[in-house]
Amino acid sequence: MGAAAILKKGGQYLGIILLLAFFVTPLAWMVSTSFKSAAEIYTANGPFFPTHWTLKNYQVAFAAGLGRMFVNSTIVAVSTTVVSLLFAVLSSYAVSRLIFRGRRMILVSMILSQLIPLSVLIVPIYQIMARLNLLDQFPSLVIAYLTFSIPVAVWFLRSFFLSVSPEIEEAARVDGCSLFQAFMRVVIPLIVPGLAATGIYVFVTVWQELMFAITFLTTPAKYTLPAGVILFIGQHGTNYGAVMAAATVMSIPPSVLFLLMQKRLISGFASAGGIK
């Protein structure tokens, strides 16, 4: 290797180190703080890593209901994901495969609906839920979340439907399958990875939703993680240790799911964004 090549490699590693330092340092600090004792947290210029690791912060956070919030968030996020996938797989197939009047308009309105700020929709949806007596109940959140989860799922799934060759489906039709049979037996199995990626994306967005959750839920036992952590654990003033423990716990499921589906999620985004 010549001097120039070594310099180039060195520069590249330097770039990566700076990049990682910026993105990873705060994360590492969040996790390390969650294992520190109060004495170490509340020291000016304290150490980056705890000198004595302790689970005390996690005990405090779970005693304040973190476990219950985790279960609530799971219930809401899984329900929303199932309903949105069910609706979106049908409509996404229609806008990707079938040709009909108004198809383009539906695609455009799906994007447009994504641009409407949720802060505009929250008051009317709140009033509707109040009238339906659904406030402070999980279905109110699941229904409200469909406003953004369905359109996103339709766009995501579309890229996966478009990647399935129509000839395969045509062949099944020629072999005597009905449109429905061809869809269920031929198309669906081929887009299972796409369904998983889309489902994970919906799950992750719902998992972190804050505005509707703090507005609709009033019973502490029903709080989802974002609402509960803000209204309950955060309210214990500046118990930074417990707050960082809660922040760490709520970040684990999305991070793990992302690592599992990284490649497919990226391709979903890339094609939803027009990259071929």
Partner 1 sequence: MQQSVTARGPIGARARHSRSPAIWLLLPTLVSMVGLVVYPLARGFYTSLTTSFFLSNQAVFAGFKNYAILLHNPVFWMVVWHGLVWTAGVVLGQLIFGFVGALILNQPIWGQAIFQSVTFIPWIMPGVAAGLLWSLMYDPTFGLVGNLQHFWGFSSIAYLSNVHTSMAAVVVAAIWKGTPFTILMMLAGLQTVDTAVTEAARIDGASWFKVIRHAVIPQVAPVVRTTALFITVWTFNYFDMIYVMTNGGPVNSTQIFPTYVYQLAFGQLDYGLGTAAGILSLVVVGIIAALFIFELARQGALD
Whole-number minimum distance, CB 189 to partner 1, in Å?
Answer: 18
Phi, psi of 35 (to 5 degrees): -105, 10
Cα–Cα distance for residue pair 210/76, rounded to 1 Å: 13
Tokens of 192: 């299972």
Q: Does 211 bind partner 1 (CB under 8 A)?
A: yes
Site string for partner 1, 170-209 (x = CB under 8 A): x--------x------------------------x--xx-
Query: CB pairs under 8 A, 24+ apart, for 29-38?
Result: 30/244, 30/247, 30/248, 30/251, 31/244, 31/248, 33/240, 33/241, 33/244, 34/58, 34/241, 34/244, 34/245, 34/247, 34/248, 36/241, 37/241, 38/241
Q: Does 13 bind partner 1 (CB under 8 A)?
A: yes
Return the residue of 7, 25, 59, 171 that touches partner 1, per CB under 8 A: 25
For residue 270, give the H/E element and its range.
helix 240-272
Closest CB to partner 1 among 63 and 123?
A: 123
Q: Does 134 bind partner 1 (CB under 8 A)?
A: no
Closest CB to partner 1 among 51 and 127?
A: 127
Whole-number minimum distance, CB 160 to partner 1, in Å?
Answer: 15
Conformational region of residue 135, where left means phi above 0, alpha means psi within -120 to 50, and beta covers everything else: beta
Show Cβ contacts of residue 158 under 8 Å, excluding neighbours closer than 6 positions. 92, 95, 96, 271, 272
Residues in 221-250 at the binding interface with partner 1, rule: CB under 8 A = 225-226, 229-230, 234, 238, 240, 243-244, 246-248, 250
Residues in 85-124 at the binding interface with partner 1, rule: CB under 8 A = 86-88, 90-91, 93-95, 97-124
Return the residue of 7, 43, 59, 235 that touches partner 1, per CB under 8 A: 43
Q: How many residues bind partner 1 (CB under 8 A)?
A: 105
Residues in 47-86 at the binding interface with partner 1, rule: CB under 8 A = 48, 86
Whole-number minimum distance, CB 213 to partner 1, in Å?
Answer: 10
Whole-number minimum distance, CB 158 to partner 1, in Å?
Answer: 10
From the centroid of its chain, how far is CA 242? 23
Return the residue of 41, 75, 78, 190 that touches partner 1, per CB under 8 A: 41
Phi, psi of 120 (to 5 degrees): -80, -35
